[in-house]
């Protein structure tokens, strides 16, 4: 386990060439040179991160290691996020981001173009027709959906179900185009991922259980840093591995456990915000289905409305484009309520947790 957390140790000889080749890291002597190089670059339209103004090969490597492997990732990053990587610093971070934005020509676009892009979004079946109907056809790719609710309300079961359903052919409600197998990334923070459940769910849909398991990459996250690292890994390999689904089950538990007490709340929220940005980038960059689960906390000071509120506060609530609240009903039945969505009405439906997964009542 320890080796997973250990950072790579390099000898001094190995480290030196990297410092020399990167104008950003050797500031005192080579800053002017780096600036000149960066300015010279800015006349062309960059097509890779290395061609951006202010980026040398070592900086490109550092950026990629931190989840900024594409021009889009940099164009949508904040100066503070980039400045904190290695010793890039604010001035260079600003230059890199501006160059990335220029390369992508990021500005307003007309609504018909937005409409065309929205049509590229797919929907993944949930295993329950009623729930699919509630969601306007299934879970939407390209954005983040939060599943929140009390313990045993079915968050983990629904997340498992989506790992399987995403692998179905497109015509059956999945994302498989018949050529490139769909890879699912599952960040498991509580140790509740169960391959047995995947096998049972795959059999129901007549998918090969072994192949279905092989397409799911499970990352057991032992703390919040590790969780963030795994999310960055997904960003780096999304295109190469055709990762189309990212599950974080559960999103806030490590952050809550590590940042106890009010005094550290601001730090926790800042870190969580950074994590959420990585998840949102993944959703947009690779048209990914991003699902996060979240527990509820009883708030004794809430006199009106629901005293059970999702963890993580406004930061999580605002980052999730769609929020679904799950609650227990009789026996295997669970109620799902659309709490927040840019296009769905606030309504609810009932599904059942069966041996073979999520099904209708
Ligand atoms: P927490 O992670 O504790 O917050 O809960 P959760 O919302 O993730 O709950 P989860 O999805 O783990 O749901 C647990 C429920 O699923 C259990 O209460 C069972 O009723 C049901 N369940 C889990 N496995 C099976 C199974 O193999 N067969 C059937 N019929 N039900 C199952
Ligand atoms: Mg769970």
> Going from the N-terminus, what domains does the chain have, and what CATH number goes with each?
29-104 (1.10.150.20), 115-360 (3.40.50.300)
Is any ligand 1 atom within 6 A of the Cβ of residue 155?
Answer: yes
Residue nearest to atom 1 of ligand 1 (CA): 151
**How do the pLDDT tens digits run along the chain, 361 residues long?**
344 444 444 444 344 333 333 444 444 455 445 545 554 554 567 888 999 999 999 999 988 888 788 888 888 788 988 998 888 999 999 999 999 988 887 777 788 888 887 888 999 999 999 999 999 999 999 999 999 999 999 999 999 999 999 999 999 999 999 999 999 999 999 999 999 999 999 999 999 999 999 999 999 999 999 999 999 999 999 999 999 999 999 999 999 999 876 667 778 888 898 899 999 989 988 999 999 999 988 776 666 667 778 888 778 888 888 999 999 999 999 999 999 888 888 999 999 999 999 999 9
Query: Could you say which ligand is closest to the alpha carbon of residue 154?
Result: 1
Q: How far apart are CA 346 and CA 165, in angstroms?
A: 25
Using the atom order of ligand 1, give the atom closest to the CA of residue 152: 9
Q: How far apart are CA 129 and CA 294, in angstroms?
A: 24
In the reported structure, the alpha carbon of residue 153 is separated from the centroid of ligand 1 by a whole-number distance in angstroms of 7
Query: Could you say which ligand is closest to the alpha carbon of residue 330?
Result: 1
Q: What is the pLDDT of residues 108-136, one digit of tens each?
A: 778 888 888 788 899 999 999 999 999 99
Is any ligand 1 atom within 6 A of the Cβ of residue 136?
Answer: no
Is any ligand 1 atom within 6 A of the Cβ of residue 354?
Answer: yes
In the reported structure, the alpha carbon of residue 332 is separated from the centroid of ligand 1 by a whole-number distance in angstroms of 9
Query: Could you say which ligand is closest to the alpha carbon of residue 310?
Result: 1
308, HSE (Cβ side, Cα atoms, 13 Å): 10
CA angle 218/224/228 to nearest 5° reads: 60
In the reported structure, the alpha carbon of residue 149 is separated from the centroid of ligand 2 by a whole-number distance in angstroms of 10
In the reported structure, the alpha carbon of residue 156 is separated from the centroid of ligand 2 by a whole-number distance in angstroms of 4
Using the atom order of ligand 1, give the atom closest to the CA of residue 157: 11
Answering whether pTM is above 0.75, one says: yes
Residue nearest to atom 14 of ligand 1 (CA): 152
Burial (0-12, 13-18, 19+ Cβ within 10 Å), 278: buried
**Which of 147, 157, 247 gets mutated to test ligand 1 (max ligand atoms within 8 A of its CB)?**
157
Using the atom order of ligand 1, give the atom closest to the CA of residue 194: 24
In the reported structure, the alpha carbon of residue 295 is separated from the centroid of ligand 1 by a whole-number distance in angstroms of 14
pLDDT score of 66: 81
Using the atom order of ligand 1, give the atom closest to the CA of residue 150: 4
In the reported structure, the alpha carbon of residue 129 is separated from the centroid of ligand 1 by a whole-number distance in angstroms of 20
The token pair that represents 260 in the structure block: 């106890």
Using the atom order of ligand 1, give the atom closest to the CA of residue 355: 28
Is any ligand 1 atom within 6 A of the Cβ of residue 353?
Answer: yes
């Amino acid at each position: 386990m320890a080796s997973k957390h250990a950072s790579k140790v390099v000898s001094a000889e190995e480290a030196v060439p990297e410092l020399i080749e990167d104008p950003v890291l050797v500031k005192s002597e080579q800053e002017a040179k780096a600036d000149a190089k960066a300015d010279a670059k800015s006349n062309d339209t960059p097509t890779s991160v290395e061609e951006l103004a202010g980026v040398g090969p070592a900086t490109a490597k550092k950026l990629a290691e931190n989840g900024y492997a594409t021009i889009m990732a940099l164009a949508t990053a904040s100066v503070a996020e980039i400045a904190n990587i290695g010793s890039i610093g604010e001035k260079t971070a600003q230059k890199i981001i501006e160059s990335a934005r220029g390369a992508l020509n990021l500005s307003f676009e007309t609504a018909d173009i937005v409409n065309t892009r929205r049509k590229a979004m797919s929907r993944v079946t949930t295993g329950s027709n009623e729930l699919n109907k509630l969601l306007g056809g299934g879970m939407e790719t390209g954005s983040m959906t939060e599943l929140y609710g009390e313990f045993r309300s079915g968050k983990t079961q629904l997340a498992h179900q989506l790992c399987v359903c995403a692998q179905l052919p497109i015509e059956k409600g999945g994302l498989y185009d018949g050529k490139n197998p769909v890879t699912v990334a599952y960040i498991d923070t509580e140790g509740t991922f169960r391959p047995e459940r995947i096998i049972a769910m795959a059999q129901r849909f007549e998918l090969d259980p072994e192949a279905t398991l092989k397409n799911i990459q499970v990352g057991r996250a032992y703390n919040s840093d590790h969780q963030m690292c795994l999310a960055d890994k997904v960003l780096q390999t999304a295109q190469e591995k055709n990762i189309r689904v990212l599950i974080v089950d559960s999103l806030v538990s490590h952050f809550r456990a590590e940042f106890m007490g009010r005094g550290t709340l601001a730090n926790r929220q800042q870190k969580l915000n950074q994590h959420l940005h990585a998840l949102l980038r993944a959703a947009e960059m690779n048209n990914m289905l991003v699902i996060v689960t979240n527990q509820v906390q009883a708030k004794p000071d809430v006199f009106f409305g629901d005293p059970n509120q999702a963890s993580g506060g406004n930061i999580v609530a605002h980052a999730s484009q769609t929020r679904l609240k799950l609650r227990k009903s009789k026996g295997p039945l669970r109620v799902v309520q659309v709490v927040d969505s840019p296009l769905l009405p606030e309504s609810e439906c009932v599904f059942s947790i069966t041996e073979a997964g999520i099904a209708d009542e």
